[in-house]
């Protein structure tokens, strides 16, 4: 079974147990604001989190970790 959730742009997938990756993120983009004032925090980020790995996100309050 594969679950998919989409953010502003890009897709996060919870992979089938038969595969090595627990989570795969492909082509993730995240911007804050719009027009000339837009801040592009993520541009085309892709990564996999292998089964059994511990991952933590660190950043200031309000920095978009959610």
Query: In this predicted model, what pLDDT tens digit does every residue of 9-66 receive, in sequence order?
Result: 666 665 555 568 899 999 999 998 999 999 998 899 999 999 989 999 899 998 878 7
pLDDT score for 21:
87
**pTM exceeds cut of 0.85:** no
Task: Compute the radius of gyration of the chain from its Cα atoms.
Answer: 14
Predicted confidence (pLDDT) at residue 4 exceeds the cutoff of 60:
no
Q: Is the pLDDT assigned to residue 2 strictly greater than 90?
A: no
Compute the half-sphere exposure of residue 3: CA atoms within 13 Å on the CB side of its CA.
Answer: 5
Rounded to 5 degrees, what are φ and ψ at 64?
A: 95, 25
CA 27, 61, 51 angle in degrees (round to 5)?
Answer: 45
pLDDT of residue 18: 57
- pLDDT at residue 11, as a whole number: 63
């Amino acid at each position: 079974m594969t679950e998919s959730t989409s953010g502003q742009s890009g897709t996060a997938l919870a992979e089938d147990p038969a595969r090595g990756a627990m989570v795969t993120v492909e082509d993730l983009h995240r911007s804050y604001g719009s027009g000339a004032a837009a801040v592009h925090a993520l541009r085309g980020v892709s990564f996999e989190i292998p089964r059994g790995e511990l991952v933590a996100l660190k950043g200031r309050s309000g920095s978009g970790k959610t």
